[in-house]
Amino acid sequence: MTLKLKIRTLDNFQGSLTNRTFLAVREAIIELNFLPGEIIRKHDICNALGVSRSPVSEALAKLRNEGLVEVVPQSGTFVSRFSLQDIKEGAFLREAIELACIEILASNISEQQLIDLNRNLKLQKVLAESDDYQGFYQLDAKMHGMIMDFTGYKNLAKVTKTGWVQVDRARQLLLPVDGRLKKAFQEHRAVIKALEQNDVALAREKMKTHLNQLILLLTPLEKKHPHLFENS
């Protein structure tokens, strides 16, 4: 795969030149177009995106802060390998926040919020049935984001996005798992049905079950793909 096929052009993103460069490279890393351990050469990014070295350097610095790349002196910049500890920590943070959110929401969710969630759910069903993995997970992320935003605490999604980044990247390895999309859809539907019933305990139970499924699937990946993980 050539670099231009690995990374989308800047007109697909918004913000300053540096921010668009950052988002383009970040997306390529999270979607595993750049594999863990792969070297990232600045001049190649510059050529692919049509930008100077400055925005690329700034973008890579931000990616380093997120733990997505690491700089090895005298060697270069590499995509960070997966860390099972980081994955588990991100999942722990996400679960703690989302379970608290679902409890708040189950007791006072509005009719319009339920309409929005069910509209998202209907689209999920279509994408799950057509095995559109990337499209489904975009809607998945949007649904979880709505649940957090509906609490009224607008910074929760930002906090979890930072902690969840390694999980998001690792779960790309699960995309070909047969039946996972349909099962995830069923788990989402169970959560939303509990919200419709204003059943706090049931909503928490269904959300916890859903979130735990991901970790159960991710944990064996270290043995299946040892070259993508640290200390392998």
User: Burial letters for 107-137: b for 16+ Cβ neighbours within 10 Å, e otherwise?
Assistant: eebeeebeeebeebbebbbebbeeeebebbb
Task: For residue 42, give the H/E element and its range.
Answer: helix 42-49
Clarify whether residues 112 and 218 are in a common domain.
yes
pLDDT of residue 232: 56
Clarify whether residues 51 and 23 are in a common domain.
yes
User: What's the domain count of the chain?
Assistant: 2
Helix (H, G, I), strand (E, B) or coil at 78: strand
Q: Position of tokens 């700034």?
A: 58
Kindly state whether residue 230 falls inside one of the protein's structural domains. no
Clarify whether residues 110 and 181 are in a common domain.
yes
Clarify whether residues 90 and 71 are in a common domain.
no
pTM, two decimals, is 0.84
Residue 97 has pLDDT above 90, yes or no: yes
Residue 63 has pLDDT above 80, yes or no: yes
In angstroms, the CA 202 to CA 191 distance is 8
Residue 175 has pLDDT above 70, yes or no: no
Residue 214's pLDDT band (boundaries 50, 70, 90)? Answer: confident
Which residues constitute the domain of residue 46? Answer: 3-79
How far from 208 is each of 63, 78, 97, 150, CA to CA, in Å? Answer: 30, 35, 11, 18
Q: Percent of the chain beyond pLDDT 90?
A: 69
Residue 3's pLDDT band (boundaries 50, 70, 90)? Answer: low
Kindly state whether residue 22 falls inside one of the protein's structural domains. yes
Clarify whether residues 45 and 138 are in a common domain.
no
Q: Which of 79, 108, 136 is the last residue of a domain?
A: 79
Give CB contacts under 8 A, 24+ apart, made by 178-187.
180/217, 181/127, 181/128, 181/131, 181/133, 181/136, 182/128, 182/129, 183/213, 184/128, 184/136, 184/140, 184/210, 184/213, 185/121, 185/124, 185/125, 185/128, 185/136, 187/213
Residue 146 has pLDDT above 60, yes or no: yes
Q: Which of 14, 47, 79 is the last residue of a domain?
A: 79
User: Average pLDDT, stretch 171-190?
Assistant: 86
CATH code where residue 45 lies = 1.10.10.10
Kindly state whether residue 229 falls inside one of the protein's structural domains. no
CATH code where residue 199 lies = 1.20.120.530
Q: Which of 30, 64, 79 is the last residue of a domain?
A: 79
User: Average pLDDT, stretch 108-134?
Assistant: 95
pLDDT of residue 6: 85
